[in-house]
């Protein structure tokens, strides 16, 4: 018995030049915000960008972008929603933002299904917004899209670093490219930079707590004007573009 | 149509198997499709017929449907899928991503959303018959 979806994944992503996975061991560090803002900035720079929300139980990129009243269309597969010039796909278009609790096998099946049937077309970047941790979805992304480059997000807390360290161990053991670690909700006196460099990973810099962010959720114009967006442009973008 | 994407996946996979196992010609490919996928078998067969070529050109595709059933992880209750309970929008959602059944289905006995899909999910290539 063979699952035919696996063989088609490479083909479905053939038109995608670069795949950036925004990940962390910890929840609540700003992965979805980083993924969404990065996708918006790249789109504004003229790149063709896709954003795939892989946090199936707690998706939030649709809220950050303020997507309302749109649905993917069908054309020999699923065609992502086009919003603010980028292509967006999330389970939320099917769950209608209702509570959806899923076990491991379900998570793997959803990822495989989405990768097998979503037609991204030609893209310069596909940004994947990951759930926290190093569970099923992370393992599946490594298994099915080994050319992915991981952008890791942490906070100054040693608790966040401790989980990121485990993620780094996993990625290194599988020869997956790590772009670096971005520090969010940072302060000037944290030891994260040293910890990150000590494990042989590039420290991208720190984004201070931005009290404009909460009021900018769901409003792309406001998001662009936040210190968070300026920091992503300054700290992350050069590292994404230089290695291409 | 979603069926075309799945048909393309079937053809790509069968071609890989044909190459790997050195088939000269394929006569028949047997597929099973879970009820939760709610695949239109007419469209699926049309897509397969349209996409097959080379060593698959003469292959017949047989499709067997599997009823969907669930088992509650909390109370152990077993029950079967009843698509008539859902409106078109929910049916469409489950058609595209069968796991979103966890959004819309609860155990009829204890109302828990924590259940396993025992059968009736997915599309599988069961058997390939051909000449090597």
Chain A interface mutation, best of B21, B102, B111, B119, highest count of A Cβ atoms under 10 Å: B102
pLDDT at B39 > cutoff 70: yes
Nearest Cα neighbor of A32 from A54, A10, A5 is A54
User: Looking at residue A107, what is its pLDDT?
Assistant: 96
Closest Cα in chain A to B92: A94
pLDDT at A189 > cutoff 80: no
Q: Is the ipTM here above 0.85?
A: yes
Q: What does the pLDDT average to over A106-114? A: 95
pLDDT tens per residue, range A158-178: 898 999 999 999 999 999 999
Which residues in A have their CB inside 8 Å of a CB on B? 1-8, 11, 74-78, 91, 94-96, 98-103, 105-106, 109-110, 113-114, 116-117, 119
pTM value? 0.94
Identify which of B1, B97, B124 has the shortest CB distance to residue A113: B97
Average pLDDT, chain B: 93
Q: Do A99 and B122 touch (CB under 8 A)?
A: no
Q: What does the pLDDT average to over B5-19? A: 94
* β-bridge mates for residue B131, sequence order: B25
pLDDT tens per residue, range A8-39: 999 999 999 999 999 998 899 999 999 999 99
Q: What does the pLDDT average to over B79-99? A: 91
Average pLDDT, chain A: 94
Identify which of A74, A94, A100 has the shortest CB distance to residue B1: A74
Confidence of residue B83 (pLDDT cuts 50, 70, 90): confident
CA distance A241 to chain B (A): 32
SS (H, E, C) chain A: CECCHHHHHHHHCCCEEEEEEEECCCCCCCHHHHHHHHHHHHHHCCCCEEEEECCCCCCCHHHHHCCCCCCCEECCCEECEEECCEEEECCHHHHCCCCCCCCHHHHHHHHHHHHHHECCCCEEEEEEECCCCCCHHHHHHHHHCCCCEEEEEECCCHHHHHHHHHHHHHHHHCCCEEEEEEEEEECCCCCHHHHHHHCCCCEEEEEECCCCHHHHCCCHHHHHCCHHHHHHHHHHHHHHHHCC
Q: Is B78 helix (H, G, I), strand (E, B) or coil?
A: strand
Confidence of residue A187 (pLDDT cuts 50, 70, 90): confident
């Amino acid at each position: 018995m063979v699952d035919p979806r696996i063989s088609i994944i490479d083909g479905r992503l053939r038109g995608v030049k670069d795949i950036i996975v925004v990940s962390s061991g910890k929840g609540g560090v700003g992965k979805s915000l980083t993924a969404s803002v990065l996708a918006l900035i790249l789109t504004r720079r003229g790149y063709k960008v896709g954003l795939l929300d892989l946090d199936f139980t707690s998706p939030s990129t649709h809220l950050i972008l303020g997507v309302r009243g749109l649905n993917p269309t069908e054309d020999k597969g699923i065609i992502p929603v086009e919003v603010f010039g980028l292509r967006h796909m999330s389970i939320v278009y099917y769950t209608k933002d209702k509570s959806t609790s899923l076990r491991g096998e379900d998570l793997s099946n959803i990822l495989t299904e989405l990768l097998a049937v979503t037609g991204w077309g030609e893209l310069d970047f596909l940004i994947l917004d990951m759930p926290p941790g190093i569970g099923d979805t992370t393992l599946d992304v490594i298994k099915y899209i080994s050319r992915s480059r991981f952008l890791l997000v942490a906070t100054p807390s040693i608790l966040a670093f401790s989980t990121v360290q485990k993620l780094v161990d996993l990625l290194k053991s599988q020869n997956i490219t790590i772009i670096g670690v971005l520090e969010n909700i940072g302060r000037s006196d944290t030891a994260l930079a040293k910890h990150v460099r000590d494990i042989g990973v590039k420290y991208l810099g720190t984004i201070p707590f931005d009290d404009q962010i909460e009021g900018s959720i769901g409003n792309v114009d406001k998001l662009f004007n936040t210190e968070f967006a300026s920091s992503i442009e300054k700290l992350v973008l050069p590292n994404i573009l230089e290695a291409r | 149509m979603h069926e075309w994407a799945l048909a393309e996946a079937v053809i790509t996979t069968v071609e890989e198997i044909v190459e790997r196992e050195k088939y000269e010609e394929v006569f028949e490919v047997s597929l099973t499709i879970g009820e939760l996928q709610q695949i239109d078998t007419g469209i699926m067969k049309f897509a397969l017929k349209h996409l097959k070529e080379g060593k698959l050109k003469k292959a017949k595709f047989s499709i067997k449907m599997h009823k969907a059933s669930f088992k509650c992880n909390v109370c152990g209750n077993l029950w079967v899928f009843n698509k008539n309970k859902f409106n078109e929008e929910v049916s469409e959602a489950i058609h595209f991503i069968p796991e979103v059944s966890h959004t819309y289905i609860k155990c009829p006995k204890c109302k828990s959303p924590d259940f396993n899909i025992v059968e009736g999910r997915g599309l599988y290539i069961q058997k390939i018959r051909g000449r090597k």
